Amino acid sequence: MNVRMLRSTPFAVVGLDTTTAVPPQLVGVAVYHLAGPVITGGPFGFWAQPDAPLDHVPHQLWPYVWTAPPWPEVAEHVLGALADRVLVLAGPDRLRLLQQHLPEWVPAAVLFGRDLVGRARPGMDLEDFGTGLGAGMESHTLAERVAAALLDPPPRVDRLPGGPDSREGPGRGSWP
Residue 45's DSSP bridge partners are 30
Q: State residue 109's pLDDT score.
A: 92
Q: What is the DSSP pairing of strand 38-47 with strand 86-89? A: unpaired
Cβ atoms of 75 and 102 closer than 8 Å:
yes
What distance in Å separates the CA atoms of residue 61 and residue 157, rounded to the nearest whole number? 47
Cβ atoms of 26 and 17 closer than 8 Å:
yes
What distance in Å separates the CA atoms of residue 12 and residue 82, rounded to the nearest whole number? 6
Q: State residue 1's pLDDT score.
A: 59
What distance in Å separates the CA atoms of residue 150 and residue 79, rounded to the nearest whole number? 25
Q: State residue 31's pLDDT score.
A: 97
Q: State residue 124's pLDDT score.
A: 53
Q: State residue 147's pLDDT score.
A: 85
Structural domains in the chain, sorted by start:
3-150 (3.30.420.10)
pTM exceeds 0.95: no
What distance in Å separates the CA atoms of residue 27 and residue 21, rounded to the nearest whole number? 11
Q: State residue 152's pLDDT score.
A: 67
Per-residue DSSP letter, 123:
T
- Tens place of pLDDT per residue across the chain (176 aa): 566 777 878 999 999 999 998 889 999 999 999 998 899 999 999 999 998 888 999 999 999 998 999 999 999 999 999 999 999 998 899 999 999 999 999 998 999 887 776 665 555 554 555 556 688 888 888 888 888 888 766 445 566 666 555 454 444 444 34
Q: State residue 17's pLDDT score.
A: 94
- Measure the CA dihedral 96/100/105/109, to 10°: 0
Q: State residue 96's pLDDT score.
A: 94
